[in-house]
Structure 1
């Protein structure tokens, strides 16, 4: 017995308009800024190198193998770079497209399970959530992972809950999971939804709501399909590693298959946070406004649980299991739980028509936009008279954002006045629209000069002869991305002490060269008073240091290091 009849006249017009409007929102601002730290420059550099060198199988940054992530996300940026010829456009497009596809998938499955009105609610509250749009406007890997995970969940829900469902939808979802693993190791997360599905089947003895449509062999076939999809990348990579007989490639294979998956989850070496980190430090702000809806959603979820309604139990169980899964790992970042957000929107959407106009909920959804708009307006006004938090930000980043804060706050207050007779959810929607437009255009243009090292390289190129090599010490990938001359680095996985000794040794052997390093770097190997300032970037003062800055004794190290030389083929020029 199926839950709902399938749609006999499915209207594609809604999907087309929703896709266009979503993409316009998420793509707004593309081309106005460069890749920003921490992750964006790394992925952009790797993608740029793929196109320029033709080396697509093994991601590299400055001729050093990059084993931290599978290559699919970098391939996407590289494809758009090859098509557009502009890295400023290409590096943000995959996330904008991924966000659009995610919204469309949630809309479609919600429409099939509940109806058109509920589907618009699902898409709306997902687009209203802070973390989802923020990641879709960033060139981090997580928006793409969220898309593949959502498509995996879509395939499972479509196969089990829709009248027109078929096992091929489950297989399609498993293909999406395989591609998700090729993007980031956690692409298998939709498999967690099989647990609440099994729970619904187990409780079916008294409540006949869901058929046992497929036996275990079909589910195993799906998992096998996921593994076969993964082999499309994994098998060529393994064969290439075996054929090269190079220890560096062997280390790449071992790192990406074990250290960056099993070890990273079970025994993380950074971002160590307590078990409750996501619930206390991330969800309260990142999942706004959905967290505000929880008290009004809870009675409806409890009723759905009693009725064994798989349309709620399965997505909501998935959200719970994702939170538990990542909370159990000692290493935590806020973006890890993003894949749970679309399914939370799906579980909330059916009850939004019943709770959206509740008095206290509407007041809360009105209060937050008023607080946001007033905070921006007052902070911007105080910044104009050199006081308040914005003034401190102006001094810290050496920019003047007071006018932008003031105008953004004023714009929020004006649109809130225009919708003053509307419900709270509409007030939140127009507020977020104003904020994302301001972020995408105004703040991107304001912050771009200080979040890139372009000015530092201009000073270097004006004062250091072009035939003199520059070695990078304790810098991020963005310095390599903006370089317009051959550079040297000593590996991004090299321990700081070993990197320092390698740099000292290199400059000793190449007295005509220079080191580029932050002025805050303390070391017994270098006399930083002999360095010359070349500007400020990323809240650091940067120095160029010649051979005259070498001190005689630099503590040696037993750690072997490799010197990498990188020559940009097409320098990143706006």
Structure 2
């Protein structure tokens, strides 16, 4: 099996997929972004909207429609929101990125070196994190990588006639998935590359009339649909407030220009120290001797530099640069010949993994951890991580760097697979589905209730689970003689709110309370 894993690409991708499959099968939706997308999609289906969206009646032009269409289609197809189905639109694009990057270097790196690059990319913190959460970022990353790969084929003369149309189509799809970043990364990267190659005069070959035509037709159809449905106010919010205003003076996610320097270290963990060392050494030795290496370097650095100029910053925005940081490192790793310092840098994450199993044993003795409980599967997963760390360390001592990286990456994937089976035990701490299902059972037993929530910020999207939107109440509303609360009722709240508010505790005294994780629902049969 191990020899086939090292040489059989199809088997590797199957194992890569199986490693995260239980996580999609067993986990609940998170109550923030994931549930928000469900709620927005439900509202669009109720309103018959296609191009314009609302979040509880408020214009939601933050994102283009492609991913929300996926969510809406899933709801129509299954009759409910299926996490496994939606998860495919995050993880399959990640595997496509892996496939394209691997194909790009197929004639340069050996089979083992390509496996090293695949595992480094797939287990990089923000890459795997974005691949297993329900967001549109990985889809955008896939289209950007496809666009850049198509550009490079055209540049080196290996493109086919259809590539001159596919390039602008992939750029549009990246825009249609996440917005302006979809065109900014390919545009800045390719122009910078052509400038460095002293070939800027050829830009019309790539960003010429076909690009303009495709973007005008497809964006024109999109914006026309937006205007027809939402009018000038929605179109203005989509084109200006969510683009120019975010870039120049963001209303949220503001951060200093050096933000991505810090984000680099955890976004590419556990490989960030090794990758940084390789990049610094490669730049010093001027290893970017080929067009491919120069292009990868330009994409990685120009993306970070461009993002740093924008007011709005999040670590996930640098996702399109991560594949190129990793694969440029893999290319230069083969050139540098594994000097001693590489083994030292690769040994740091190995040592950290070795300490994980002893660490979780110590943590299990802490009172707060004991209250939640640690599943035996968590201990097994941590044992696997520590075991892979020990094996990695032994391989490093034998100066087998590639095998050490394969050991570490494989251990991480196996531990993810094992720990995924423990997720049902912790779903009540992850999402709101369990508490809502129980609340609906209570409502059915009572013959119907009215839903409310109080002092619970994550309750905005409870309607995605309940099918109806609970009404928000302030604590003072609970005591009003003419309160709008209609009984029988179910009131949702958060344990922190109960701990912090004497008035809320007094109101709840004597009432039947049900707790799931850190959240409560309370049965209220008569007004107080």
**Alignment match of 1:31 (pick from 13, 16, 25):** 25
- With over 3 angstroms needed to count, the CA separation of the structure-2 counterparts of 1:190 and 1:74, relative to structure 1, is same
**SS of aligned partner of 1:471:** strand
Structure 1 position 372, deviation (Å): 1.9
Q: CA–CA distance in 2 between the matches of 1:506 and 1:56? A: 43
Q: CA–CA distance in 1 between the matches of 2:382 and 2:320? A: 31
The equivalent of 2:69 in structure 1 is 75
**Alignment match of 1:321 (pick from 299, 302, 309):** 302
**SS of aligned partner of 2:170:** helix
The equivalent of 1:334 in structure 2 is 315
- With over 3 angstroms needed to count, the CA separation of the structure-2 counterparts of 1:433 and 1:178, relative to structure 1, is same
The equivalent of 1:207 in structure 2 is none
TM-score by length of 2: 0.81
Do structure 1's residue 530 and structure 2's residue 503 form an aligned pair? no
**SS of aligned partner of 2:452:** strand
Alignment of 1:7-18 (within 5 A): 16-17=10-11
The equivalent of 1:447 in structure 2 is 426
Structure 1 position 224, deviation (Å): 3.9
The equivalent of 2:407 in structure 1 is 427
Contact (CA 8 Å) 1:374, 1:409: kept in 2 or not? no
The equivalent of 1:199 in structure 2 is 195
Q: What is the Cα-based RMSD across aligned positions, in Å?
A: 3.8
- With over 3 angstroms needed to count, the CA separation of the structure-2 counterparts of 1:151 and 1:40, relative to structure 1, is same
**SS of aligned partner of 1:171:** helix
Q: CA–CA distance in 1 between the matches of 2:524 and 2:495? A: 10
Contact (CA 8 Å) 1:268, 1:331: kept in 2 or not? yes
The equivalent of 1:179 in structure 2 is 173
Do structure 1's residue 110 and structure 2's residue 142 form an aligned pair? no
**Alignment match of 2:358 (pick from 360, 378, 395):** 378
Do structure 1's residue 481 and structure 2's residue 485 form an aligned pair? no
Q: CA–CA distance in 2 between the matches of 1:251 and 1:538? A: 41
Q: CA–CA distance in 2 between the matches of 1:172 and 1:506? A: 65
TM-score by length of 1: 0.75
Contact (CA 8 Å) 2:119, 2:410: kept in 1 or not? no
The equivalent of 2:51 in structure 1 is 57
Contact (CA 8 Å) 1:129, 1:287: kept in 2 or not? yes
Do structure 1's residue 230 and structure 2's residue 219 form an aligned pair? yes
- With over 3 angstroms needed to count, the CA separation of the structure-2 counterparts of 1:266 and 1:479, relative to structure 1, is same
Structure 1 position 156, deviation (Å): 1.6
Q: CA–CA distance in 1 between the matches of 2:482 and 2:131? A: 42
Contact (CA 8 Å) 1:159, 1:168: kept in 2 or not? no
Do structure 1's residue 456 and structure 2's residue 435 form an aligned pair? yes
Structure 1 position 517, deviation (Å): 4.1
Do structure 1's residue 190 and structure 2's residue 186 form an aligned pair? yes
Structure 1 position 193, deviation (Å): 0.9
How many residues matched? 502
Do structure 1's residue 407 and structure 2's residue 380 form an aligned pair? yes
Structure 1 position 50, deviation (Å): 5.7
Contact (CA 8 Å) 2:96, 2:142: kept in 1 or not? yes
The equivalent of 1:570 in structure 2 is none
Larger % of helix: which? 2
Q: CA–CA distance in 2 between the matches of 1:544 and 1:336? A: 43
**SS of aligned partner of 2:148:** helix
Structure 1 position 150, deviation (Å): 1.4
Q: CA–CA distance in 2 between the matches of 1:537 and 1:278? A: 37
Contact (CA 8 Å) 2:427, 2:434: kept in 1 or not? no
Contact (CA 8 Å) 2:39, 2:464: kept in 1 or not? yes
Moved more, 413-422 or 181-190: 413-422
**Deviation string for 1:326-351 (max 9, x for gaps)?**
22233322211111111222322322
**Alignment match of 2:85 (pick from 82, 85, 90):** 90
- With over 3 angstroms needed to count, the CA separation of the structure-2 counterparts of 1:471 and 1:506, relative to structure 1, is farther
Q: CA–CA distance in 1 between the matches of 2:368 and 2:442? A: 32
**Deviation string for 1:435-467 (max 9, x for gaps)?**
32244333x333212222244335544655444
- With over 3 angstroms needed to count, the CA separation of the structure-2 counterparts of 1:440 and 1:258, relative to structure 1, is farther
**SS of aligned partner of 1:487:** coil
Structure 1 position 138, deviation (Å): 0.9
Contact (CA 8 Å) 1:326, 1:337: kept in 2 or not? yes
Contact (CA 8 Å) 2:90, 2:131: kept in 1 or not? yes
Q: CA–CA distance in 1 between the matches of 2:461 and 2:251? A: 23
Q: CA–CA distance in 2 between the matches of 1:143 and 1:502? A: 43
**Alignment match of 1:155 (pick from 141, 150, 159):** 150
The unaligned stretches of length 5 or more in structure 1 are: 1-12, 205-210, 243-249, 491-495, 550-574
- With over 3 angstroms needed to count, the CA separation of the structure-2 counterparts of 1:436 and 1:547, relative to structure 1, is same
